[in-house]
Amino acid sequence: MAINPTRLRIRLPALAIFLQIAMIILFGVFIRYDENADPILSKEHNLTGERTIQNEFYFRYPSFQDVHVMIFIGFGFLMTFLKRYGFSSVGFNFMLAAFGIQWATLMQGWFEHLGPDGKIRVGVINMINADFCTASVLIAFGAVLGKTTPVQMLFMAIFQVTLFAVNEFIILHPLHCNDAGGSMTIHTFGCYFGLAVSRVLYRPGLKEGHPKNGSVYHSDLFAMIGTLYLWMYWPSFNSAISVTGADQHRAAINTYYTLAACVVVTVAMSSLLDKRGRLDMVHIQNATLAGGVAMGTAGEMMITAYGALIVGFITGIVSTLGFKYLTPFMASKLKIQDTCGIHNLHGMPGIIGGITGAITAATAPTSGTYGERLTDTFSVLTKHPERLLGGFQMSGTLVAIAMGIVGGTVVGEFCCRAPKTHPVPINECATSTESSPNTAV
């Protein structure tokens, strides 16, 4: 075996325990409760003397729980369509996500939430953002699934979370972009980061990660559980950190309708692309979600319900065609093996989302549809009333792509390639450490 079990047995636990102890120390130094959780800072009573519900917690927590389900059940089970994707992989991913949310809390905190006292104040908002960052990591894994060892994936996660925080900071602060649903920061960055790593790991002999007939009936039903939870809760994903009230409501409505249109178009395209008119489950499991990705930036804006339908319509077509034609092309010509087809579900839809957001934002100041609430949605205009929103939004997408490709290439070169001496064939990576012979169905 390419992986020496004993080595894995020592290295993985040692690294994991070390990292967890580091988290404890760093949390002790930097993390404190925010004003909605700290008894002294919190304002628990409103002017009428009643215990108040104005606590941010009650605006955000239900959406947080929906997002939490998307990360662990949604992404987790979406990957079970792969027969090879066995127990240990489930366990390792669970660990990577669990480590990711701790590390993300620190990195995002240092970049965005560091108080004057040098402390990071955490609350439900930080939990949502940490889950978002972890989503980006899981998206990237979708491209390298089955090509890396657990230790490599752990290193990859450490660096990707760091770069995610840097990228997010640039997009949200210097550029002042709106990106509540993360079309740029989560999907576009995560996708191109993963593809860049996958490009580095390319080996001619390696057979396609997603075997055409590799799924069985029940595997596909499990994957549908993942798909449906992502699809159902996406309105919460895109609205979770929007400004409370109308903006949050709007993000939910737009995402709800864009996803509906996306499903109808995906089924139509899938049937059309099959010579016998049958559906390809890979399309149903993935392309139906592309609309949610594409509504990540514009969701909270006044894109209107029919605008949302149009976005879902276009994204469904692009994503389905991507699975049919682009993924094989990338594997054969560009030497990029995209195991789960993340470029079709997160990459292209993410860019569409960025462009949609740029267009919607560009027309906002003159549209008059926001009235005096314009600055609720586009807070940057309070400071820079002349800001050309469209251009800055567009640049955000370009930054995400660039950060993803450069970052992924560097990280891939320096942590995932090793051991250079004997590259790890697919059937000895994600499946090399199964806990029982039954795992291969």
* Residues within window 90-129 making contact with a second copy, judged by CB under 8 A: 90-92, 94-95, 97-99, 101-102, 105, 122-124, 127
Among 115, 174, 216, 414, binds a second copy (CB under 8 A): 216
Q: Comparing C-alpha atoms, which of 119, 102, 101 is closest to residue 110?
A: 119
Q: Which stretch binds a second copy (CB under 8 A): 67-75, 156-164, 342-350, 410-418?
A: 67-75
Q: Which is nearer to a second copy, 144 or 309 (CB)?
A: 309
* Rg for the chain, CA atoms, rounded: 22
* E strands in 84-233: 120-122
> What are the φ/ψ torsions at residue 215 (nearest 5 degrees)?
-105, 155
Residues touching a second copy, count (CB under 8 A)? 141
What gap in Å lies between CA 230 and CA 197, rounded to an integer? 25
Closer to a second copy by Cβ: residue 172 or 279:
279
Residue placing its CB nearer to a second copy in the complex, 365 or 405 = 365
Question: At 77, phi and psi to the nearest 5?
Answer: -85, -25
Identify which of 225, 260, 256 has the alpha carbon closest to the alpha carbon of residue 239.
256
108, 178, 185, 215: which one binds a second copy (CB under 8 A): 215
Inter-residue contact 184 to 354 (CB < 8 Å): yes
Shortest CB 298 distance to a second copy, Å = 14
Q: Considering beta carbons, is residue 9 or 422 the nearer one to a second copy?
A: 9
Residues ≥6 apart with Cβ < 8 Å to 233:
66, 67, 69, 70, 74
CA atoms within 13 A on the CB side of 142: 28
Return all residues near 375 (Cβ < 8 A) that are at least 6 apart.
Answer: 381, 382
Does the footprint of a second copy cover residue 42 (CB under 8 A)? Answer: yes
**Identity of residue 384:** H
Contacting range for a second copy; rule: CB under 8 A; set: 183-191, 349-357, 413-421, 427-435 = 427-435
**What is the rounded CA–CA span in Å between residue 314 and residue 309?**
9
Residues 245-284, interacting with a second copy (CB under 8 A): 245-250, 252-253, 256-257, 259-265, 267-272, 274-281, 284
* Structure tokens that stand for 53 in this block: 């519900």
The minimum distance between CB 68 and a second copy, in angstroms, equals 5
Which CB atom, from 4 or from 332, has the smaller least distance to a second copy? 4
Residues 11-40 that bind a second copy (CB under 8 A): 12-13, 16-17, 19-21, 23-25, 27-28, 31-33, 36-40
CA distance 143 to 404: 13
Q: Which two tokens stand for residue 123?
A: 């609350």
Q: Which of 6, 207, 366, 421 binds a second copy (CB under 8 A)?
A: 6
Residues 296-325, interacting with a second copy (CB under 8 A) = 302, 304-306, 309-310, 313
| The binder of a second copy chosen from 111, 323, 370, 378 (CB under 8 A) | 370
| Smaller CB separation from a second copy, 253 or 321 | 253
How far apart CA 272 and CA 291 sit, in angstroms, is 19
DSSP, collapsed to helix, strand or coil, labels residue 427 as helix
Using CB under 8 A, which of 79, 84, 86, 416 touches a second copy? 86
* Closer to a second copy by Cβ: residue 287 or 394: 287
Query: In the bound complex, what is the minimum distance in angstroms from residue 371's beta carbon to a second copy?
Result: 4
Note the Cα 137 to chain centre separation in Å: 7
| Binding flag, residue 363, a second copy (CB under 8 A) | no
204/277 with CB nearer a second copy: 277
